[in-house]
Structure 1
Amino acid sequence: MSGFLFVVPPLVGHINPTVGVAAELAARGHRVAWACADPALVRRLAGPQAVVLPCAGPAPAVRPPELRGPEALKYLWEGYLLPLADAMAPGVRAAVGRFRPDVVVADQQAFAGALVAERLGLPWATSATTSAELTGAYHGTPRIADWIRERLRALRARVGDPAGDTDPRFSPHLLLAFSTPELAGPSAARGDHIHYVGPSIADRPAATGFPWEWLDPGRATVLVTLGTANADVGGRFLAECVSALRERADVAQAVVTDPGGTLRRSGDDKDVLVLPSVPQLPLLQRAGAVVCHAGHNTVCEALWHGVPLVVAPIRDDQPVVAAQVTGAGAGVRVRFGRVTAARLGAALDAVLHEPAHRAAAARLSAAFRAAGGAPAAAVHLGRLAADARPEESR
């Protein structure tokens, strides 16, 4: 039996993929704990039984909605990721001392997990909840890559081993990518220690109150979602989606997630259902299409179910993920900031009625399922722990 400490940022999209992996490890008899700045969020996603060792951390960055491209990336790093690492590092060190893990599983954006493990001489694995940085996304912009390296070098001097030189985003021991080359594309990084395990799809705490009887089996259900971190910028886009879908009410009905409360809600609307949150995985089993921001989790969960997409990337890794979707033929891309109901309608018509997009989504679904998901990730982590044990104790 080995011990695994998951170090994650307090972000739903970064915790969810690891929940199934942690459950698999626990089912195999291993000890599992979490280090996170929001223990309540981990327990909400992983279950109340989750062992969570708290760390300090800033609130998620609320970026000005007009920021895009390099400016948005700079704000993310300087406004959130680097302060998060500085704040988490003491708590991660304390968690290691208390839990005594054999392996640290560090989210790709929870730099403190990797740097503390390196400093303490512990093997660590990277949990890559998006494949964007594994595809050379910044190779064409060396100034951005150099800027990131400088920031990580300074961070290592503060919280890691000054003599170390490993990029904390990429473990040299084990890197688990929750995607597959079929989606990530031919430029995806390869190596003996890199394993594309596909999405980690696991049961989540049961959601109550969704009106399943509202769904009309005679029409395609279209899920519209911008994830959990874009409520501040999504009002106009959601309104255009609603307009496009109302024009197609004879063939489709919409379920729209609107956590910011920007849309009017009507209890007797038979064509558009607006809710602050939805049980996404069960809903995807019934969906005919998804309109989203190209968030990696939403994209992979849709494609796991063979559902084609309309993607409207906003920032961060989303343009890269959107390009992966369209490159694989599983969806259509629209411009988030300028799209109209007419353009959204045309994109929806394509993914709902052109068989090529659904065939591509089905192909990616088969590749995802063959990759092994959470059980495969647990096997790789178990091997890393076994290899790290002294030979006489194996």
Structure 2
Amino acid sequence: MARVLVVITPAEGHVNPSLGLVKQLTDNGEEVVYVCTEEYRSRIEQTGAELRTYPFPEDAFSHDPVLKPAEYKHPYQFVYMMVGGIIRKIVPEVLRVTADETFDYLIFDSLMGWGGTIIAEKLGIPAVCSIASFAFVEPLGTDQDMDENRKDVKELYEATMKLTRQLADEFQVRAPAMDEIAKHEGRLKLVYTSRYFQPQAEKLDDSFIFAGPSIVPRQDAPSFPFEQLRARHQQTVYIAMGTILNKDLDFYKLCFDAFQDLPATFVLSSGKHTDMEPLMDRIPANFIVKPYVPQLEMLQRADAFITHAGMNSTSEALYYNVPLVMIPLTSDQPLVAKRVQELGAGITLDKNNLTPAALRAALVEVLSNPDYRQQAHVIGESLRQAGGYKRAADAITNYFAAINR
């Protein structure tokens, strides 16, 4: 069987979708070497893969000014993040920890962009791109129509291309054009969604494999008193704002104000690094607040989900037919929220004009109008039928078996 190198950006939303695929590959007999950070050792080793680590700050995506999630007003901002934050920092480490080894093929994270192509070229192997969000038909920020002639846009272009040329010289590879850096490259592009949910899917060729979300039990999930959910109220609402931007105490206060007298049980996942002590005396009686909630199990019991519209969280909710109230914050979240709303499975709110009244009204609408749950079911069915990590693994192994005959 093949020896596979997997290189995924060290972020929850990118590592988690890869785990089912990697476990299936190892179950199928492939030898997998997974390059990531120490933070993810437990869950990666549970797949049967061998982990290789490199130094990378655990909270880099919260504090690093280049990596910190942002609202991209122009595609160059996203591309600069890839080059300066991901490629420059991770690619040399990957090549260092895999020096003098041989592999049959590479699976790399789409957030690495051109960096995946560098690794594949230096190792002399074909590659598969792992896409943890929607496949980008156009780079993030394209729809903002920022003037190309603005001084800051020109300066960003020059800074990005200067760094790109420096890296190309360092790795002795061809320097790509700006529009090639973020492009999805690879023999196959594995997308963890369905063609139905993917925007502009008709513009993507057959090298894009839509396998649906990778739903696998999480061995590190904490216990939760699920018996309390229906003790007082018939409906349950889950609130979680991801793992990077979940420390906004003002938002949690807003939720308390909006929902304290609604006849539903609210479960708020505040984040394991969020200090909720200042709010402890303000938590309403209909709220259960925990630093970390077993999300897959909770979504199977939820009537609605209030979320930042991260791709993982959104896909998991829809997989279980849960309609959404979405408050997109950054990165690809506005794109994800827009697609959910287009398909009728949720309501999007503006984070800059958020009030208790607006939040309450959106939730009441989603809970009381059965159309939202019905449309969530339609998307969910497309995700469940996509095949998941088993189809993804089969597509990859069958492809490489065919070309090696």
Give the TM-score, by structure 1 length.
0.87
Give the Cα separation in 1 of the matches to 2:56 and 2:370: 46
Match status 1:47 vs 2:49: no
Q: Which amino acid aligns with 1:182?
A: Y
- Determine helix, strand or coil for the equivalent of 1:323: helix
Against the structure 1 CA distance between its residues 241 and 151, is the aligned structure 2 distance closer, same or farther, given a 3 Å change threshold? farther
Give the Cα separation in 2 of the matches to 1:71 and 1:384: 38
Alignment-derived partner of residue 61 in structure 2: 60
Q: Which amino acid aligns with 2:129?
A: T
Q: Which amino acid aligns with 2:199?
A: G
Alignment-derived partner of residue 331 in structure 1: 346
Cα distance, 1:195 vs structure 2: 1.2
Superposed, which structure 2 residues align to 1:220-235 within 5 Å? 220-232=235-247, 234-235=248-249
| Maintained 8 Å contact 2:308/2:327 | yes
Alignment-derived partner of residue 184 in structure 1: 198
Q: Which amino acid aligns with 2:92?
A: P
Deviations 1:201-224 (A, max 9, x none): 112114233222221164211111
Give the Cα separation in 1 of the matches to 2:280 and 2:46: 31
- Determine helix, strand or coil for the equivalent of 1:109: helix
Cα distance, 1:156 vs structure 2: 3.9
Against the structure 1 CA distance between its residues 384 and 264, is the aligned structure 2 distance closer, same or farther, given a 3 Å change threshold? same
Deviations 1:144-189 (A, max 9, x none): 7994984784344444621667646412411011112322233564
| Maintained 8 Å contact 2:26/2:49 | no
Alignment-derived partner of residue 385 in structure 1: 400
Give the Cα separation in 2 of the matches to 1:267 and 1:70: 35
Match status 1:12 vs 2:12: yes
Cα distance, 1:105 vs structure 2: 0.6
Give the Cα separation in 1 of the matches to 2:22 and 2:239: 29
Against the structure 1 CA distance between its residues 267 and 344, is the aligned structure 2 distance closer, same or farther, given a 3 Å change threshold? closer
| Maintained 8 Å contact 1:114/1:168 | no
Give the Cα separation in 2 of the matches to 1:186 and 1:261: 41
Identify which range, 108-117 or 119-128, moves more after superposition: 108-117
Identify which range, 150-159 or 255-264, moves more after superposition: 150-159
Against the structure 1 CA distance between its residues 374 and 33, is the aligned structure 2 distance closer, same or farther, given a 3 Å change threshold? same
Cα distance, 1:51 vs structure 2: 1.4
Cα distance, 1:356 vs structure 2: 1.0
Alignment root-mean-square deviation, CA: 3.1
Against the structure 1 CA distance between its residues 61 and 207, is the aligned structure 2 distance closer, same or farther, given a 3 Å change threshold? closer
Alignment-derived partner of residue 236 in structure 1: 250
Q: Which amino acid aligns with 2:374?
A: A
Cα distance, 1:261 vs structure 2: 2.3
- Determine helix, strand or coil for the equivalent of 1:181: coil
Against the structure 1 CA distance between its residues 341 and 151, is the aligned structure 2 distance closer, same or farther, given a 3 Å change threshold? farther
Match status 1:201 vs 2:215: yes
- Determine helix, strand or coil for the equivalent of 2:391: helix
| Maintained 8 Å contact 1:132/1:317 | no
- Determine helix, strand or coil for the equivalent of 1:60: helix
Q: Which amino acid aligns with 2:196?
A: E
Alignment-derived partner of residue 94 in structure 2: 92
Q: Which amino acid aligns with 1:120?
A: L
Alignment-derived partner of residue 292 in structure 1: 307
Give the Cα separation in 2 of the matches to 1:308 and 1:160: 49
| Maintained 8 Å contact 1:4/1:104 | yes
- Determine helix, strand or coil for the equivalent of 2:107: strand
- Determine helix, strand or coil for the equivalent of 2:353: coil
Give the TM-score, by structure 2 length.
0.85
User: Where in structure 1 are there 5+ consecutive unaligned residues?
Assistant: none
- Determine helix, strand or coil for the equivalent of 1:133: coil
Give the Cα separation in 2 of the matches to 1:266 and 1:27: 49
User: Where in structure 2 are there 5+ consecutive unaligned residues?
Assistant: none
Match status 1:341 vs 2:340: no
Deviations 1:331-360 (A, max 9, x none): 000112321111111110111111111111
Pick from 182, 185, 199: which aligns with 1:171? Answer: 185
Give the Cα separation in 2 of the matches to 1:99 and 1:265: 53
Identify which range, 340-349 or 131-140, moves more after superposition: 131-140
Give the Cα separation in 2 of the matches to 1:186 and 1:71: 21
Cα distance, 1:71 vs structure 2: 6.3
Give the Cα separation in 2 of the matches to 1:376 and 1:51: 22
- Determine helix, strand or coil for the equivalent of 2:72: helix
Give the Cα separation in 2 of the matches to 1:177 and 1:17: 10
Alignment-derived partner of residue 350 in structure 1: 365
Q: Which amino acid aligns with 1:322?
A: A
Pick from 361, 368, 379: which aligns with 2:376? Answer: 361
Cα distance, 1:76 vs structure 2: 6.5
Against the structure 1 CA distance between its residues 338 and 121, is the aligned structure 2 distance closer, same or farther, given a 3 Å change threshold? same
Cα distance, 1:192 vs structure 2: 1.9
- Determine helix, strand or coil for the equivalent of 1:127: strand
Q: Which amino acid aligns with 2:244?
A: A
Cα distance, 1:100 vs structure 2: 2.5
Match status 1:125 vs 2:140: no
Against the structure 1 CA distance between its residues 222 and 190, is the aligned structure 2 distance closer, same or farther, given a 3 Å change threshold? same
Superposed, which structure 2 residues align to 1:240-251 within 5 Å? 240-248=254-262, 250=263
